[in-house]
Amino acid sequence: MNNKVSIKSIASVSPLGIKENEIWQKYLSDEHCLEEREFGEFKAMVAPLAEGAKLEIEKLRVSDQKYKALDDTVLYAMYAARMAMKDAHWSSDDNFGVNMGSSRGATALFESYYEDFLSSGKTETLCSPTTTLGNISSWIAHDLQTKGPEISHSITCSTALHALLNGVAWINSGMTSKFMVGGSEASLTPFTIAQMKALKIYSRETDAYPCKALNPDKLGNTMVLGEGASVACLEKGVSDNAIAIIEGVGCATEVLQHNISISTNAECFQRSMKMALGNTSPSDVDVIVMHAPGTKKGDSSELNAIELVFGNQQPALTTNKWKVGHTFGASGMLSLELGIMMLQKQKFINVPYLNSNKEPEKIRKVMVNAVGFGGNAVSVLLSL
Residue 192: which of 202, 182, 205 has the closest Cα? 202
Amino acid present at 289: V
Backbone CA torsion sign across 92, 107, 112, 46 = negative
pLDDT classification of 138: cutoffs 50, 70, 90: very high
Identify the pLDDT of residue 257. Answer: 63
Helices (H), the chain: 20-28, 51-62, 72-88, 107-120, 127-131, 135-144, 159-173, 190-198, 267-277, 296-310, 321-324, 331-345
**How far is the C-alpha of 179 from the C-alpha of 95, rounded, in Å?**
9
Amino acid present at 227: E
**How far is the C-alpha of 200 from the C-alpha of 222, rounded, in Å?**
9
Describe the chain by its helix, strand, coil percentages, rounded to 5. 40, 25, 40
Of residues 84 and 258, more confidently modeled: 84
DSSP summary character for residue 347: -
Identify the pLDDT of residue 161. Answer: 98
Q: Is the pLDDT of residue 53 over 60?
A: yes
pLDDT classification of 134: cutoffs 50, 70, 90: confident
pLDDT by residue (tens digit) across 326-376?
Answer: 999 999 999 999 999 999 999 999 999 997 678 899 999 999 999 987 789
pLDDT by residue (tens digit) across 162-217?
Answer: 999 999 999 999 999 999 999 999 999 999 999 999 999 999 988 899 999 999 99
Residue 223: which of 245, 240, 198, 244 has the closest Cα? 198
Please give the model's pTM, rounded to 2 decimal places. 0.96
Q: How many beta carbons lie within 10 A of that of residue 284, not counting itself? A: 14
**Mean pLDDT computed over 101-117:** 94
Q: Is the pLDDT of residue 228 over 70?
A: yes
pLDDT by residue (tens digit) across 75-108?
Answer: 999 999 999 999 999 999 999 999 999 999 999 9
**Mean pLDDT computed over 126-149:** 93
Backbone CA torsion sign across 81, 336, 163, 74 = negative
**Mean pLDDT computed over 279-292:** 97
Buried b (16+ CB within 10 A) or exposed e, 122-155: eeeeebeebbeeebbbbbbbebbebebbbbbbbb
**How far is the C-alpha of 31 from the C-alpha of 38, rounded, in Å?**
22
**How far is the C-alpha of 19 from the C-alpha of 17, rounded, in Å?**
6
Q: How many beta carbons lie within 10 A of that of residue 307, not counting itself? A: 13
- Rounded to a whole number of angstroms, the distance between the first and last alpha carbons of the chain is 17
